[in-house]
Structure 1
């Protein structure tokens, strides 16, 4: 099971659901308006890496990848 982020096309509410990978892209019911057209959104994640004072340091995904929408490799300067 994994946590996925969805967005309702009717009321534009963002919400999360715990689902199996096989059901990840299935339409989801919006908890706000009840619409069944919620679509999965791309989302970021955070990882831990060795090196912090507690043994691990918090590193946002964008920092770990070099920042931006594509990790900085496309030259978009984001």
Structure 2
């Protein structure tokens, strides 16, 4: 299964803007969104990394989680 990214704006649970045409039929999608007030728990980050890292063999989820968390925290302060 391939992955493509579409930038969208959802307002009150409704799609308000999509930056490109979406394919017809049934679409399986991962919804990733930003919430400035809330952080993601380390457990949740580890689950996401493990779930999405299936194409990499021998990934160390703990190391990758720390690396991601550090990069996110650096980007927030900018």
TM-score range, shorter chain: under 0.3
Quick check: which has more Rg, 1 or 2?
1
Comparing both structures, which one devotes a greater share of its residues to strand? 1
TM-score (norm 1): 0.26
Q: Which has the higher helix share?
A: 2
What TM-score, normalized by structure 2, do the two folds share? 0.26
Indicate the structure whose relative CO is greater, using CA pairs within 8 Å and at least 6 residues apart: 1
